[in-house]
Structure 1
Amino acid sequence: MQDVQHLLLEMARCRTLEEIFDLVASTLGCLPDVALCRIWLQEQADPALCSNCRQFYDCRDHRHCLRLVVSAGRSLVSDADWTQLDGTHRRFALGCGKVGLIAASGEAFHVSDVSPDMPWVTDPDWIAREQIRDFLGQPLLYRGEVLGVLALFCRAPQSPQALNQLRLVADYLAVSLANAQSFAELRRLQRRLELENSYLRNDSGAPSGDVLLGESPALRALRERIGQIACADVPVFITGESGTGKSIVAATIHNQSLAAGGPLVKVHCAAIAPDRFSREFFGAAPTADGPAHIGFFEAAALGTLFLAGIDALSPPRQASLLRTLQDRVYVREGESRPRPLRARLIAAAGRDMQALVRDKLFREDLYYRLNVVPLVIPPLRERLEDLPLLAAHFLEAFKSRFHKPRLRLSAAALRTLRRYDWPGNVRELKNVLLRAVLAARDDATDIDLSAASLRTGASLPRPDAILTESQMRALQRNNIVAALQYCNNRIYGPRGAAALLQINPTTLCSRMKKFGLPTDAGEKRRTGNPSDKQRP
């Protein structure tokens, strides 16, 4: 332990907590008498892992446990890799084994003359095989709180001074860990706020918490189903038409679950650029230019991650998500250490998922892994008996918001609402009433639904008015061809087709290539005719 002073100096130069852990483990693990150096951190327990823990029935506190974060050493009898973090002792229950006792008591332990038959030994064969003779363990204490445990397994007796020197390392580790956790928690809170704001921007027209308001048989059945599955830590897949309130159902499940005290992180999958998927979902390690980027999985730790529009994910992104769900771990960009997935997953889609699976547009294995508990939200037209209650609720909110207390919903207005098919569901109902309230005079008493542009008796758009994907592509291609012909195949400049179409020239070139249109002529005109600049 003569290298402790040098180790402390090197620790001060480390920029990240992971670098400090690796430095401590590799330095102490390479000392002549040390067989193994390990660090465990105390964290909130993951219910999904607790049920399979070997110490489940001996655990005193199922809310917290110790997780192995770094390991280094060398074996006498094999070439085993002791840097792995997935072995039998990757987790310790508080109070179990010597490591668990240190965390539970907050006291250091020095055990001399270690023998395999000691009651605290969890692997007697390993103690005998590796000739372990001494054990040193220090809690990572910060302001009276145990943050983790630093332990050394040695093949030679250690002096009492060695335990004191290990205390210095443990104290420095504890301070570094506390600071890192404080900064990480601040970044997580900031990230959650960013995600919440981003979701609200993308879902500004979503219905508020009123989607579950009503007493129709369909809605009562949905509420009963939510109550049955809310506390089960299994994935939930929500389907329903646009505007039915899938995000509100997800929030209801979260609020009734065991993770209600944790965060609810909502993500619009369609808004995530493909080249940013890994960074946004898994996060990124800190760099010289900035701190770590908190990914969705980390931001939702011990809470719920709601993936709206998951049918928008491309096949490569689907494969990445599938691996994470299968292994229950993810890795940040720029790191190699796996992090546990500790968030409940709720996914939602507005399209027919079975049809997407059948057409090979969505992975079947991912669909069935997500679709453990399916929930289908009924459209508003199938629960019209809830419409008066929903309309009255929205109207009361808007009357108060816009200071028009005299407005009311007449029987004639309700009949008008009932005759409509509501293709936009609860969201459309809310918007209709909002427009009606805004259009009403301050002294008005009855809502004029004609002012709300409600198409009485209207149904869903006619099939002949809907274009197929191939028709849309043909329409876009023909539009580009017409613009190029009008501009004499010029792409760039104020007289070019890009300016006429009001898009970026590089975007136009990309679309031309996609539609098989030549871009050579346009490229030549970009630089080939100086007289173009002189034309009026």
Structure 2
Amino acid sequence: MTASAGKVLFIDDDHALRVAAVQGLELAGFEVTAFDNGPAALKALSRDFPGVVVSDVRMPGMDGLALFARIQAIDPDIPVLLITGHGDVAMAVAALKEGVYDFVSKPFPMERLAAALARALEKRSLVLDNRRLEAAASQGPTGSPLLGEAPVMQRLRATIAQLAEAEVDVLIQGETGVGKDLVAQALHRGGPRRGRPMATVNCAALPEAVFEAELFGVTGGAAGGRPRIGRLEHADRGVLFLDEIEGLTPAMQAKLLRVVEEREIWPIGAAEPRHLDLRIIAAGKVDLAERVREGLFRADLYYRLNVVTLVAPPLRERREDVPMLFGHFLAEAAARFRRPVPRLTAAVRDHLLGHDWPGNVRELAHYAERVALGLSSAVTPDTGTGVQADGLAERVERYEAMAIRETLAACNGDARTAMALLRTPRKTFYDKLRRHGIEIDAYRPSRRGPRP
């Protein structure tokens, strides 16, 4: 999801105008390809064209309106701007209603054309981004819960595939919200223990007072205790996932060390230990090696857990995956809330591209839920950009005002001539002057001043 590169197809049979326009647009930062006829330009267009078409209306053979109709057949969402001469007001308004994005009248200021192209390119970029989001959403579940095509994610999935069958213990490191639990699930599902349970223990949420009873269990011989099978015994012949391993207190670390070393537990009240067949996967959101150096984590436990280390990358290191992930989460959220999937707006896209996502994938998923529910302010049309608010009525009004001003300038402010050229009744003509704030005296030679 990136802003358009600024591609413009410019079609005009007037060689001098075409050369001047191309030079001006390239100086303004656009990537321009010029043609002297419509059929040649059509060969450069496809449904995925990431740009805008500018065409003169009056050309031999295929004129601008015929070219617009052919472009509509390729993709009706490709913005088309037409260049018109004086006296084409009625045709221009009719074409706007048919879907032409905008008009500029000859002779046109390059700033006017560049501004219209910038708005059109923004609109085209949003259309293509929405299509990519819809495609991502329609793909449905993939073979791996770890979505993303960034190189770091491809390497992570490849490493998981190699380690899954190896039966070695794995330490997963990564910031909060990156999906360390998904890495653990992928290791479990890809390994020989996939048919057995994976017991998850959130070490940071487990009080030290109940640590032994919860993990190791209680036998009937324990004084005052009810017999209970511990979580670790439930994971026998399966996988033990120790999440937020850094949350263990020193006493809890010492008690867990025997499990990791010997694969044995000693339930409370038991006369002898019980052997377990476990694969252990641990995860931490901090650098455990640094915790060892600080004396906050046992070195012997760390080195026994750290047979192989996998790093789940933060979202800021794989920004190219943000659009696809957002589309996936948005579709999921919309289905869960039984709502239609909302369209991407400029504000939402700007947030997706510009935000650092310190909460990583979890934060992105929650943002998608707010967008699906309409609770994010970015869901509303972004009137600040001019893209969402610039609808058909606004474009017709803008072109009408421009046409009146240009006609008054051409006839030196003569109202009768202007009404004749515009084919507009007197009352309608003056009503439009008032509505657009146009002062006719400013166009008369004797009182010529700054034009409104």
TM-score by length of 2: 0.50
Residue in 1 that maps onto 2:28: none
Q: Does the CA-based 8 Å contact 1:310-1:348 persist in structure 2?
A: yes
Residue in 1 that maps onto 2:83: none
Residue in 2 that maps onto 1:473: none
Specify which of 364, 379, 390 is matched with residue 447 of structure 1: 379
1:382–1:355 distance in 2 versus 1, CA, 3 Å: same
Aligned ranges 1:60-209 → 2 under 5 Å: none
Give the C-alpha shift of residue 336 in structure 1: 1.5
Give the C-alpha shift of residue 439 in structure 1: 2.3
Specify which of 222, 226, 235 is matched with residue 169 of structure 2: 235
Percent identical residues: 45
Specify which of 231, 247, 256 is matched with residue 321 of structure 1: 256
Give the C-alpha shift of residue 290 in structure 1: 7.1
Q: Which one is further off, 279-288 or 220-229?
A: 279-288
Q: How far does the alpha carbon of each residue in 1:8-32 deviate from its partner, in whole angstroms, 9 at most, with x for none?
A: xxxxxxxxxxxxxxxxxxxxxxxxx
Specify which of 422, 425, 428 is matched with residue 360 of structure 2: 425
Q: Distance in 1 between matches of 2:208 and 2:225?
A: 22
Q: Which has the higher contact order (CA 8 A, sep 6+)?
A: 2
Q: Are residue 337 (structure 1) and residue 272 (structure 2) matched?
A: yes
Residue in 1 that maps onto 2:190: 256
Counterpart of 2:199 in 1: which secondary structure?
Answer: strand
Q: Are residue 389 (structure 1) and residue 321 (structure 2) matched?
A: no
Specify which of 293, 303, 312 is matched with residue 358 of structure 1: 293
Counterpart of 1:374 in 2: which secondary structure?
Answer: strand
Counterpart of 2:229 in 1: which secondary structure?
Answer: coil
Q: Distance in 2 between matches of 1:434 and 1:209?
A: 23
Specify which of 314, 318, 333 is matched with residue 379 of structure 1: 314
Q: Does the CA-based 8 Å contact 1:436-1:448 persist in structure 2?
A: no
Gaps spanning 5+ residues in structure 2: where? Answer: 1-141, 383-452
Q: Does the CA-based 8 Å contact 1:302-1:342 persist in structure 2?
A: yes
1:449–1:375 distance in 2 versus 1, CA, 3 Å: farther
Gaps spanning 5+ residues in structure 1: where? Answer: 1-207, 451-536
- Give the AA of the match of 1:286: G
Q: How far does the alpha carbon of each residue in 1:158-185 deviate from its partner, in whole angstroms, 9 at most, with x for none?
A: xxxxxxxxxxxxxxxxxxxxxxxxxxxx
Q: Are residue 437 (structure 1) and residue 372 (structure 2) matched?
A: yes
1:276–1:389 distance in 2 versus 1, CA, 3 Å: same
Counterpart of 2:218 in 1: which secondary structure?
Answer: coil
Specify which of 206, 209, 212 is matched with residue 146 of structure 2: 212
Residue in 1 that maps onto 2:202: 268
Off by >4 Å, runs of 4+ in structure 1: 208-211, 287-291
Q: Distance in 1 between matches of 2:169 and 2:380?
A: 44
Q: How far does the alpha carbon of each residue in 1:208-258 deviate from its partner, in whole angstroms, 9 at most, with x for none?
A: 998611111010000001001011111110010000011111111101111
Q: How far does the alpha carbon of each residue in 1:60-83 deviate from its partner, in whole angstroms, 9 at most, with x for none?
A: xxxxxxxxxxxxxxxxxxxxxxxx
Counterpart of 1:378 in 2: which secondary structure?
Answer: coil
- Give the AA of the match of 1:396: A
Residue in 2 that maps onto 1:183: none
Q: Distance in 2 between matches of 1:421 and 1:435?
A: 18
- Give the AA of the match of 1:447: V
Aligned ranges 1:379-528 → 2 under 5 Å: 379-410=314-345, 413-439=348-374, 447-448=379-380
Q: Does the CA-based 8 Å contact 2:203-2:242 persist in structure 1?
A: yes
Q: Distance in 2 between matches of 1:225 and 1:409?
A: 34
Give the C-alpha shift of residue 286 in structure 1: 2.2
Q: Distance in 1 between matches of 2:227 and 2:381?
A: 52
1:340–1:406 distance in 2 versus 1, CA, 3 Å: closer
Counterpart of 1:298 in 2: which secondary structure?
Answer: helix
Give the C-alpha shift of residue 324 in structure 1: 2.1
Q: Does the CA-based 8 Å contact 1:311-1:353 persist in structure 2?
A: yes
- Please tell me whether Structure 1 or Structure 2 has the larger radius of gyration of its CA atoms: 2
Q: Distance in 1 between matches of 2:381 and 2:198?
A: 37
Q: Distance in 2 between matches of 1:424 and 1:367?
A: 26
Aligned ranges 1:1-20 → 2 under 5 Å: none
Q: Distance in 1 between matches of 2:159 and 2:334?
A: 33
Q: Does the CA-based 8 Å contact 1:331-1:338 persist in structure 2?
A: yes
Q: Distance in 2 between matches of 1:297 and 1:349?
A: 19
Give the C-alpha shift of residue 346 in structure 1: 0.5
Q: Distance in 2 between matches of 1:334 and 1:440?
A: 54
Q: Distance in 2 between matches of 1:346 and 1:237?
A: 6
Residue in 2 that maps onto 1:285: 219
Residue in 2 that maps onto 1:82: none
Residue in 2 that maps onto 1:224: 158
Q: Distance in 2 between matches of 1:243 and 1:406?
A: 24
